[in-house]
Structure 1
């Protein structure tokens, strides 16, 4: 209000001066005590807007991480298999992936019986040892047959027993390694043995089917 009063008095005095006469210089005391008008160049004390660029000078952008499936179940199982030549150290991974890809669907007792028979059949087929136990599967078991694979270099890496489409049929799926007569050692070989269940006098028997 003091500033307004000073300006009003000065305006009246100017109106009362003769034309061409300059007004008297303002009193220094008045200049010292009169409040200064705010300058448009002075920075504002208000906080910056939320849309302003941050102090770093670079606009920030919020990003949301997207979640995408890494792979299908089949490709995940395949990628987890150990490489060829891994040796016995990779057998656990082979067994784990077989079980993960084909969940159990047989009673535990049937699974144990089938696995034991399937392992023995594969060994007999590959090395010739124990063929006489299954004459219907190996009709020429009484004859001398050169083994296709060396017994010392034969190894079953993994095995599972599962139903084969019907409750009275099953298949034993085996992954194995062996050295053939030519001296070539190969692992991750695959063999399937099929069985049929028969029940006689309350006893269940799994009978292996001849290879076709």
Structure 2
């Protein structure tokens, strides 16, 4: 089962694109306009860092003194803000969590966040691997096996998760980024799943109830 990416996904992708664009702009000498794209056979030459950083002739009155290459080397924060490449593994999960939390700041009490994150992770695991579906009959049905699990339990990993309000104090969404290998042996990461909850009263106490998938 899959879900539609929400605003944090768009913000994460925007962060990555802005980081790449920032590095490219900082590496361009001041006063030099971007040139037309090179033919496909010579595209590698246009991206050669040594040629891009070569100083312009000081005798050119329209250009003046060539700029220092130091700014290009002083942009680690821009590079670090990008998402890790696919297949980075556990080592890249911290960057995903950091970018996700920065893109969508916390807006729930700590106790609500803990309850929602615990439930959201369990629901995702049950949905992807089939493990624990019987605990959520309102979501998966009484049998819990209406849809066969697509991912192997041993190769399932949640890379990042946040819980945030969804337009009202009584509606929330748990936004998860995860990785897994399907039963055909294909591994993919940076997958996106959203689980929506509403606040209800059970036995006199408020609790968060997951909504069935639509």
TM-score norm. by structure 1 comes to: 0.61
Q: Which has the higher helix share?
A: 2
Matches within 5 A, 1:92-171: 92-143=94-145, 146-171=148-173
- How far the C-alpha of 1:147 sits from its partner, in A, is 2.1
Indicate conservation of the 8 Å contact 1:77/1:97, yes or no: no
Q: Which has the higher strand share?
A: 2
After superposition, the Cα gap between the structure-2 partners of 1:142 and 1:90, relative to the gap in structure 1 and judged at 3 Å, is closer
After superposition, the Cα gap between the structure-2 partners of 1:114 and 1:77, relative to the gap in structure 1 and judged at 3 Å, is farther
Stretches of structure 2 that go unaligned for 5 or more consecutive residues are 1-63, 66-77
Matches within 5 A, 1:65-84: 80-84=82-86
Which stretch of structure 1 is more off in the superposition, 88-97 or 195-204? 195-204
Indicate conservation of the 8 Å contact 2:133/2:145, yes or no: no
| Superposed CA RMSD | 2.8
Cα distance between partner residues in 1 of 2:146 and 2:177: 27
The size of the alignment, in residue pairs, is 143
- Who is 1:203 aligned against? 205
Other structure's SS at 2:168 match = coil
Indicate conservation of the 8 Å contact 2:130/2:148, yes or no: yes
- How far the C-alpha of 1:203 sits from its partner, in A, is 1.2
- How far the C-alpha of 1:141 sits from its partner, in A, is 3.0
Matches within 5 A, 1:175-186: 175-186=177-188
Cα distance between partner residues in 2 of 1:199 and 1:146: 32
1:3-59, CA deviations, whole angstroms, 9 ceiling, x for partnerless residues? xxxxxxxxxxxxxxxxxxxxxxxxxxxxxxxxxxxxxxxxxxxxxxxxxxxxxxxxx
Stretches of structure 1 that go unaligned for 5 or more consecutive residues are 1-60, 63-75
- How far the C-alpha of 1:106 sits from its partner, in A, is 0.2
